Chain A
Amino acid sequence: MVSYMKNILKNKISKLLAISTLMIAISCTQDWAEMNINPNQPSLVPASNIFGAGLTVVAGQLFGERIGIYYTGTWSGQLAATGAGDYEFRVDINNGQWDNLYRGMAYFEDARINALTEGNSNLAAVSLIMKAFTAQQVSDMWGDIPYSEAFKLGTEDILNPVFDSHEKVYTQILSELEEANTLLNASSIAVGVGDFIYAGDINKWKKFANSLRLRVAMRMSLVAPQAAAAVMSQILGNPATFPVFETNADNAYLKWPGTATNNIEPWRQRLGVPTNKQDQYRTNHDLISRLVEMEDPRLPVYADKNAAGIYNGYRMGIGQSGFPLNAQQNVSHIGNRYGYDDRGFSPFMHAAQVWFIKAEAYETGLVTGGNAREAYERGIAISMLDNGIVQADIDTYLQKPGVAWGTSSTPNVAKIRLQNWIGLYKQSVEAWAENRRTDVPKLVNVSNDYASNHNRPPFRMAYPANEIAFNESYPNTVNQVDIFYGDQIWWDTRKGVN
C-alpha cells in the first residue's frame, strides 16, 4: 500500500495536485457571482425614498448652523458667532458644504431618473424642482458652478463637468422649473413617502416651482431686466397655469420629527436646549438694532433678551472681541422658534417673499398691473402671522415710520427690500443674496479680521479645495481676494464696495 502510494505520489502527485486544484477553483468560482451580491445594502430602491434622502441632506446643510449661522448668517447681518475668527475659512468644512449640496442634488437627479423609470412624472417633477432650488442657492453662494454637465459620470462618463456661468445656471434653472410646472399633474401617480414638505400635495409643488421662478427672476432683474420681466409677466399674468404662494399654508417648510438624535432640527441639535442656552451662535447687531428701532413685534420670536434684559446683537468691526456689549452674557440668543425647537423647521421658501417680489416688481415697473402697496403690506402681514403675531400688532406696525407706505424720505422700494430681508430670518443664503443684490440694509460692519481691508461683508464663498483638485474644468481665472472677496458675482451690481 505504502509503496503504491509512494509511486503515485512520486510521479503523479504534482500534476494531480495542480489539476485538481485548478478544477476545484474553476468549479467553485461559478458560485462567486452570487457570493458577490452585497447582502448588506440594496442596489435598487424606490425613487421616493431617494428623494426624501435628498431633502434631508440639503436641509441639514443649507439650514444647518455652519452655512446658516456662521457664514451666510453672519454675512447677511442677521446672525453671529461670538468670539474671534468669524469668517474663518476651514478647508474641510468648506469641502463639506459644497459636497453635501452637490450630494443632495445628485440624489434629486437619481430620484428623477428612477422616477421616470417607475413612470412617476410627479416625482420626477418635484425632484427637478428641488434640484433647481438647490442649484440657485449654490450658485448664489459661489457664482459659476458646474450644472449642465453635472451628475453625469454614471450616465455619460463626464468626469470633469464644465463650470457654467452663473447666468447660464439661472437660465437652466428657469427652464427646469417651467418644465416641472408642466409635468405636475394632480391626477397622476402620487409622489410617495419621501415628500416631507407637502405630503404629496401637487398643487403646492406647482406653487413652489413658480414662486421659485419668480425669485430667480427677481434676483437677476438688475442685470437681465428684460428676461426677468418676461418670466415674471408670464407667471403673474396666468395665475391659473402658474399658481404661486399666497398664504403661510403654502410655505415650503420641512418640519423635523424631533424623535431620534438625527431627526432633530439641525440648529437645535447644535445649539442645545431652550432651558440652557450656552452656544456661541447668537444674533447680529445689524438685525436686532433695526428691529428694536422699528419696534418690530417679531423681535421676541427672533431673539431673546440678554442677561441685562435688553435685546442686543453681536457687533462686528475692529476690536469687536473687546466690546463689553459683545461679552457672552450680553449677546442675545436666537429665539426658541428658530433655534431651540426639536420639531423645528427648515424654511426652503415662504409666501411672504413672493409678496415682496411682487411688490418690488410692481413698484419698479418690471411688471405692470399690480398693486405694490397691497403686496408689500400682505408680505409683512404674512411674515408676522407666520411668527404668531396678532393682527392688532400687525396693524400698528404697518403705521410705524420706516414701515408705513409712502411716508418719510425712504423710497418704498427700499422698504420692500428691508422687509423682505427681515422676513428671511433663518433663510440665510437668501438674506445674504438679497443684501448683496440690493445693499439694503447697508452693512458696513465687517468682522475684525477683515475690517481693515473691506467695507462690506464677503461677496462669495470660496471654491472648495476638493473641487479645484478633482475637477480639471475648474477655471483658474477665478479672482478670490482674502478668500471671500474678489469679483462680485453676476447679479451683484453694487458699486464702490470692496
Chain B
Amino acid sequence: MTSIITRLQNKKMIYLAVSIFLYGVSGLDGFAQSRVSGTVEDESGMFIPGVTVVLTGTTIGTVTDIDGKFDITLSKGSERLSFSFIGYVTQQVEVGSQSIIGIIMIEDSKSLEEVVVTAFGVQRERKELGYTVQTLKSEDLITTQDNNIVNALSGKIAGVQVTQSGSQIGASSRIIIRGNASFAGNQPLFVVDGVPIDNTSTNLSGSGGLDYGNAAADIDPENIESLTVLKGANAAALYGNRAANGVILIETKKGQKGKEGLGVEFNTSMVFDVPSYFMNFQNDYGIGTRGGEYDWQQYLGRNPSSNLTYNEYAKRFSYNYVNGIGGGVQENATSWGPRLDAGLLLDQWIKGPNSPWESNPDNINDNFFQTQTNYINQIAVTAKGKEAFGRVAFSNRKMTGMFFNTDQTVNTLNANLTLNPHEKLTVGTNFNYVNRQSDNLPVVSYGSMTKLAWGAFRHIPLDEVRRVYDEFENEQGSGYNLNQNNFYYDLKQTNGMNRERFYGNVNVAYQINDWLTANTLIGLDYYDEMRKSITMSRTRANINNRMGGQFSQSDQTRQEFNTDVRLDFNKTFENDFSLIGLVGGNYRQNKFSSMNLSAPDLNVPNLFNVGNAKGTPGVGMFDSQKENYSIYSSATVGYKGYLYAGVTARNDWSSTLPEENRSYFYPSGNVSVTLSEALDIKSKNFSHLQLRASMARVGSDTDPYQLMGTYSTSLFNNSALFNSPAVMPPANLRPEMTTSMEVGADFRFFSDRLSIDATYYNQVTEDMILNVPTARTTGFASQLINAAKIENMGIELIMRALVLDIRDFRWNTTLNWARNTSTVVELYGGLENITISSGFGGARLVGTPGQPWGDISGLPFVRDESGNIKISPNGTPMTTNQQKILGNVTPKWIGGLQNLFTYRKISLGVLLDFRSGGDFFSGTYWHSYPTGAFTNTVQNNVRAEGIIVEGVKGDGSLNDVRISAQDYYNGAWVWNNHEYSIIDGSYVKLRELTLGYTFSIGKLQNIAVSAFGRNLAILHRSAKAKELGLDPEAASQMGGSERGTGFENFMPPTTRSYGFNLRLNF
C-alpha cells in the first residue's frame, strides 16, 4: 500500500522535476515556429502522465500532463520526437507535417520486471534482492477469464505447482510453491494490499464429495493490478509463521493510473466450458453376467447335451429383463452381459420382449452433461484529483454447470480510496464485499459419478431415463430399476451455499521526513458461509422408509483480524551507501465458529426447516480462537547500487503453544551483488550478471485446543455418550522451524534481450507439529508431537527472450522450469511411514523416511524373484495383504512455456503447461475392471476368447490357465490389488491460447476484443491415462488439500473452454 503511494509520489516528483526543468529549458527556446500536440497512452488505452517528450538530439522537450496530453513547440526542420517513460519502450517518431500525434507506449517487459514488490508491499529493484520473487501483471491474470485466480498462475511461475481438481463449478485448485514442506497445509499465504486473506480449501478425501472450492477464489482477478509470488521462507520470512510455504502478494487496482476526473472501465466476457475428456466406456457388451461368448462356450462344454444358441444362453443365464426388481435374470448386474449389436434379441426395459440388443454410444456424453457457461461483467469507475484518487468496481460472474441444475453466482463490490489531505499524510482504504451463491453444487465422487459406470449400464438409453423422470419424477425409480433413484432426480438433491465475505483494510501513512514513514494498517477478512444440503422425500430410500426427506444446514464464520504498526525508512547516504528497512509489530486474531442442524426425517415432506424435523434433530456447534503477537524488522544496506546485504528478524508469540514455548525468534539474511556493474564487465552481449544468496528461518505454531484431551459427544436413547479422546495430547510441544537457503544468478545477454535466471534452494522443516498415528492398541489413534523432518531442494529456471523484434512484430517467450526433490528425512520414533491421506479403498498417501513426499501405498501384485506376477490355480493374480509403495505423487519437474506474438495492435498468446511424473491412484481405473463398463475390459476380444493372465504359476512355469474375462476383471483379486490402478500423471497441456485486437471507434479510443481458449488440448499424457480417458491433472487431485492429493475417483469430464472478451475504457 504504502509503496504504491511512495511510487506515486516518486512519479509525481519526477514529473514535477522534469517538467520544471524542461519548461525552463523550452522557455529559453522561445522563438519556435511549429506546434505539435497529442496524447500518449498505454496498450490498454490508459493515458500516461509524465512521459518525457524530447526533440531528438536536443534538450528541448516536455512531459505529458495528467491526461497524457503534451504540447510542444518545435523549431523548423525538427524531424523526430522521442517518447520515453520508465517501464516502457522508448519510441522515436518522425514528425513530418503532423501537428497531432497519438502515441501508444509499449510496456517493456524486461525493465518492468526490474521493480518488484517485496514483503509488506515494499517496492524494490530486483538487483537489490538476495532471493527470488516473480511477478504477474493484470493482463497475465485476466486474459482467459478463469473464475479461480489460482488457475491463472498455471505454468507462469517457476516452482509454482497449480493443480486444478476439476472442471465443474466451484472446483478447488491446489497451489504449492517449491514442493510440499508439510504433511498438511502446504498452500502459500495470500495477502491482498497487506492483509492476509483466507484460502481454506475443501479438504476432500480420496473418495471425493462436495467441493465448496478454495476461498482465495473470492479475489476477483479483474481488480488485481499485480501479483507477486514470494517463493519460500527467504522472501517471506517477515510474514511470520505462515510464510514457510511462500506468499502470494496481491496489489489491487487503485485508480491512480487513470486520467484526471472520471474514468470508466467496462469488461464483458462469455466463456463456454465444453465437456471434452470423457471416460472411455465400452460399447461391445451390455448388462448381465457371464454373457461373453467364452462363457457360453464354457457352458456348452460343461453341458454336452445342451445345444443352446448364444441368444438362448444369454436369455437364460446372462440377462433378461422382467420388472427391474429382480424378477428377471441378472437385471441389475454389471456390464458383463451378452454382446451388443450381434443380432441378439432379448427382453429389455422400454423396448419390450425379444428386442434387438444394441449399443448406445455417446449415451452419457449426450444425455448427462451440458456445456457449462460463464458470463462475466465488470464495470469500474475511477476518479483522480489532487488530493484523492480511487476506483469503485462491481463485477458479476454467473455460471451454470455441466451437471444439470448446478450453478453459481459471484458478485463482487470493490472500492479503493486514497486521500492525500496533507502532503505528508496518506489515508487509504480498500473495501471488498463478495457474495458467492449457489443453489446447487455438483457432488463429484465415488458416490455420485460412479452411478454412470455402475448403474447406467451400457445398453440403457439415458434419454429414456430422462423421459421417465420428466413424467414420473422418481416414482418409477430409474425406470429400469424401481429401487434405484433416477439419475436426474438425484440432481434435485441440492447442495446450496451462500458466502458473504468482507475483506479490506484502512491504512494511514505519515511521512515523517524524506526518509522515514510511519504506517498503520488495520485489516479484516471475515466471512459467513451458509451451506444447506437436502434430500427429497421421494428418493427410493425415503419411499421405502416412509420418510419425508432430510436436510442438513450449517453456518460458519471465519475471521482474521490484523493490526500492523510500522516504521519504514529509506535513506541514501553521500558516501555511496544506502539503507532501506522497517521495524514493526503485529497483532493477529483468528476466530472460527460454526453451527449446524440436521433432520433425520421430516413431518411435512420437503419442508426443510428444523421446526419440521421428525425425531431428534442433529445439532452441533464449534468455536475456536487464536492469537498471535509479533515484532519484526528488516534492514538492507546498499553500496554503490550493486552490492546489497539485508537482514530480517521476527519474534512471534502464539497462543496455541504451551506457555514455555510460546515465544520464538527467527532471523534471515541475504546478499546480492550485481557483478556486471561491480567489476565493470558489462558489454552489449553480456549485459548483466547478478548473484544472490540468502538464508532464512521461519517458525510456526499449531491449531487451538490441542494441548488437552477432550471427549466427543453423541447420543444413545437420549443418554449422552462420551467418546474417549482419540488424540493423546502433547507433553511439551515446540514450534516447528523451517530453515531455508537459496542461491541464484541472473544472467542477461544481448542488451537484455535474453535473460536466464537460475535459483537453487534447500528448505528443511524440522520439529513438524504432527498428529502422528499410533497403533490403536495403545488406547489412542494418534498423538500430537513434534514428529518429522522434511527437506525440499530444487532448481528453478526462468528464461526470457525477445526472440524477434522486426518492425512492428515482436515475439516474446518465457520458459519457467522447476525441479523439486522432496525427502521425508525422518519421522518420530522410527515410524515406518505416516499417513498423509487415508486415500481410497486401502490405497493411502504416506510419507516414508528417505522417500519423496507423497508415496502411494497399497497392495501390490505378488511377484517372483524375476518380477513375474504370480498366478493362483484359479487363473487370477495372487494377492497379499502386505502393503507396498506403488508410486509417488510428486512430479519430477514442472514448467510452462509462454509465447506472446504482437503485431501492431494484434496479439497472440500461447501458453503450454507441463508436468513430468507424479503418480495418482485412479478409483475409476480400479473400478473399471469389476464394472466391465470400460474399454479395457473388452480389449483383445477377451470376452469371446477368454484370457490367460500373464504371469507364472506356483511352480514357476508360465501361466496357461485360460479363464473367463469376468473371472479376471471381476475377480476378488482386484479388491486386493491397487498396483494396477496407479497411473503416471505426466502431461503437456495447451493451457491458454489468446488472440486480442485493440482498436478505436470515435470517442471510444481503446476497444479491446479477444477470443481465447483454456485447456484446449492435452498434448501428451501417459498411455494408461489415455486408455481410460483421464485428464492427468484433474485426476491427481480431489478437492483442494492433501487428503485428496494423488487420488481420482469417477471424476467428471474435463472441459475445453472457449471465450470472448470485450473491454472498453473511456
Contact = CB atoms under 8 A, between A and B. Distances in A.
A, B in one complex: yes
Interface of A: 5-6, 9-10, 13-14, 17-18, 20-22, 24-25, 28-29, 32-33, 35-43, 45-46, 49-50, 52-53, 56-57, 84-94, 98-99, 102-103, 106-107, 109-110, 145-146, 150-154, 158-161, 193-194, 196, 257, 259-263, 272-273, 275-276, 278, 307, 318, 321-322, 324, 327-329, 447-449, 451-453, 462-463, 465-467, 469-472, 480, 482-483
B776 A257 contact: no
Contacts of B516: 9-10
A149 B659 CA distance: 32
Nearest to A275: B544
Interface string B607-619: 0000000011010
Interface stretch (B55-63, B105-113, B709-717, B889-897): B709-717
Contact of A40 (B544, B621, B859): B621
B317 A324 contact: yes
Contacts of B973: 449
A153 B780 contact: yes
Contacts of A275: 544
Given A40-B621, A40-B622, A42-B722, A56 B711 contact: no
A50 to B, nearest CB: 5
Nearest to B954: A453
A260 B616 contact: yes
Contacts of A38: 704-705, 708, 710
Interface stretch (B94-102, B879-887, B1000-1008): B879-887
B80 to A, nearest CB: 48
Contact of B724 (A20, A110, A158, A466): A110
Contact of A84 (B512, B705, B971): B971
B655 A17 contact: no
Given A42-B710, A92-B838, A273-B545, A462 B881 contact: yes
B397 interface: no
A43 B722 CA distance: 10
Which 5 pairs from chain A and chain B are nearest by CB?
A91-B842, A21-B585, A85-B972, A471-B775, A41-B710
A400 to B, nearest CB: 34
A53 B724 contact: yes
Interface of B: 289-290, 317, 325-327, 329-330, 332, 483, 512-513, 516, 518, 544-545, 565, 567, 583-585, 587, 600, 615-616, 618, 621-625, 627, 629-631, 633, 653, 655-656, 659, 662-663, 704-705, 707-717, 719-724, 726, 728, 773-781, 783, 829-833, 838, 841-844, 858-859, 872-874, 876, 878-881, 883, 930, 970-976
Given A18-B631, A21-B629, A36-B705, A471 B881 contact: no
B621 A329 contact: no
Nearest to A258: B717
A263 B716 contact: yes
A151 B518 contact: no
Contacts of A467: 775-777
Contacts of A86: 972
24 contacts: A21-B629, A25-B653, A29-B653, A29-B662, A36-B656, A36-B704, A36-B708, A39-B624, A40-B705, A53-B721, A85-B974, A87-B972, A153-B780, A160-B775, A161-B775, A259-B616, A275-B544, A278-B325, A278-B326, A307-B326, A327-B329, A328-B330, A452-B873, A480-B881
Given A10-B516, A36-B708, A92-B841, 8 more contacts: A38-B710, A49-B721, A52-B719, A91-B841, A99-B776, A159-B829, A448-B874, A471-B777
A89 B976 contact: yes
Contact of B717 (A22, A259, A482): A259
Given A263-B717, A272-B544, A483-B881, A470 B975 contact: no
Given A196-B717, A259-B717, A324-B317, A273 B724 contact: no
A25 B773 contact: no
B719 A193 contact: yes
A49 B881 contact: no
Nearest to A259: B615
B636 to A, nearest CB: 16
Contacts of A85: 971-972, 974-975
Nearest to A147: B777
B622 A10 contact: no
Contact of A276 (B329, B483, B775, B843): B483
The winner among B290, B776, B972 for most chain A CB atoms within 10 A is: B776
Contacts of A322: 290, 317
A392 to B, nearest CB: 36
Given A9-B516, A106-B780, A263-B716, A17 B585 contact: yes
A92 B857 CA distance: 12
A154 B784 CA distance: 12
B971 A10 contact: no
B971 A161 contact: no
Contacts of A328: 326, 330, 332
Nearest to B779: A151
A20 B631 CA distance: 10
B874 A449 contact: yes
Q: Which of B584, B663, B779 has the most CB of A within 10 A?
A: B779
A352 to B, nearest CB: 27
Contacts of B778: 150-153, 158-159, 161, 471
A43 B709 contact: yes
A275 B544 CA distance: 8
Nearest to A318: B874
B627 A32 contact: yes
B721 A98 contact: no
A53 B728 contact: no
A322 to B, nearest CB: 6
A482 B874 CA distance: 13
